[in-house]
Copies of this chain bind each other. A is one copy, B any other.
Amino acid sequence: MIRFNSDYTEGCHPAILERLAETNMEQTAGYGEDEYCARAAELIKRACDAPAAAVHFLVGGTQTNVTVISAALKHYQGVITAATGHINVHETGALEACGHKCLTIETQDGKLTAEQIASYVDGHFADESFEHTVQPKMVYISNPTEVGTIYKKAELAAIGRVCREKGLYLFLDGARLGYGLMCRENDLTLADVAELTDVFYIGGTKVGALFGEAVVITNEELKADFRYNIKQHGGMLAKGRLLGIQFLTLFEENRYFEISAHAARLAEKLRDELTNMGITFYVDSPSNQQFPILPDEVLDKLKEKYAFAYQARVDETHSAVRFCTCWATKEENVDLLISDIRKCIAQRAC
């Protein structure tokens, strides 16, 4: 079975395991107050061109989302999100379990626009019974989104502008950030992301680490007391250095970007070849998640050899599915997949 069903199918970049082995019997302080975390934070701030940022390391994505959002909001405030946002769909109500409502907006492609946000907030305050509804105070976007689309620099800048005008915090979920930043269509840099948002995170779990997400806070208001929030949400790893060592390894020697570029390139190859075969896509995704629409009988055939995720039924005989590439994907497997799809389609055409 060759797995394309997610971007967390393998372990981690081998350099990380080596570093873990080298440092294994060192004794360090716990809870992220060790030298490795300090050095990793420095590298990340440099990569973000954000020397005044606060950097914290957490274990996983759901935990990070909940920690960041609940740290920013008062009890009666909520977070604006695309209806497809991970926090709204795939976190078993973790945010609501902390007391906060997802204020959802329907989108075509998983991306919010500055206009939608402005209109939501204006609508809230124009309603004479506004105090009977949850006050919007933060905007949550993911880049790439849950369906692989990415924000262009101008779009993110516009959203950032609206957020400042309306007094909202802007939070970018970067679980797959590297795969967005390194794809062909991207025009954003890590420094842009740091400048245009109030807080965001650089995903490790899906991009080369065993686990771990690096939260980067640039808005002064959100920095205070953040570690209390981490602890309350179970994100303060006792052996915090494990996170420091991983991000140190990823951000030394440009590794984070190189392995992201590898995944991006393979996804583009898949996308280009399938497009050439005349296959259409459920979403026009430029990043490491590809959503081709394929005949069900082709999918049945592919299932014997490949793992992939079911996305949606398109018509009576076609479904959209998801193939992910990642830092660990072997090019030969992508080639094999392309060739097998080509064969299945061809057979079917006979």
Known pairs A74-B225, A90-B133, A94-B234; A30 contacts B59 (CB<8 A): no
Report chain B residues within 8 Å CB of A234. Answer: 59-60, 62-63, 66, 94, 233-235
Q: A215-242 interface mask toward B, CB cutoff 8 Å, 1 = contact, 0 = none?
A: 0000000000101111111111111001
- Nearest B residue to A2, CB-CB: B27
Give A128 to B29 CA distance when docked, in angstroms.
Answer: 12
- Nearest B residue to A132, CB-CB: B90
Q: A121-147 interface mask toward B, CB cutoff 8 Å, 1 = contact, 0 = none?
A: 000000011011111000000000000
Give the interface segment out of A14-22, A254-262, A293-301. A14-22
Q: A59-77 interface mask toward B, CB cutoff 8 Å, 1 = contact, 0 = none?
A: 1111100100011001110
Give the residues from 183 to 210 in chain A that come closer than 8 angstroms, CB to CB, to chain B.
Answer: 205-206, 210
Number of copies: 4
Q: A33-68 interface mask toward B, CB cutoff 8 Å, 1 = contact, 0 = none?
A: 000000000000000000000000001111100100
Known pairs A3-B27, A100-B93; A11 contacts B239 (CB<8 A): yes
Q: A69-112 interface mask toward B, CB cutoff 8 Å, 1 = contact, 0 = none?
A: 01100111010000000000111111011111110000000000
| Contact status B60-A75, CB under 8 Å | no
| Contact status B233-A60, CB under 8 Å | no
Report chain B residues within 8 Å CB of A181. Answer: none
Give A225 to B310 CA distance when docked, in angstroms.
Answer: 23
A12 contacts the other chain (CB 8 A): yes
A211 contacts the other chain (CB 8 A): yes
Q: A11-B24, A92-B232, A131-B231 are in contact. List 14 more A-B contacts (CB 8 A).
A: A6-B238, A12-B24, A17-B20, A27-B307, A60-B238, A75-B229, A90-B132, A92-B231, A128-B310, A132-B231, A135-B225, A205-B239, A211-B242, A233-B234
Residues on A close to B: CB < 8 A? 1-3, 6, 8-12, 14, 17, 20-21, 23-28, 30-31, 59-63, 66, 70-71, 74-76, 78, 89-94, 96-102, 128-129, 131-135, 205-206, 210-211, 225, 227-239, 242, 307, 310, 328
Among all A-B residue pairs, the 5 with the closest Cβ atoms: A63-B234, A11-B24, A76-B228, A93-B134, A92-B232
A-B contact pairs, 13 of them (CB 8 A): A2-B27, A3-B28, A8-B30, A10-B27, A11-B26, A60-B234, A76-B229, A78-B96, A205-B239, A206-B238, A210-B242, A211-B239, A211-B242
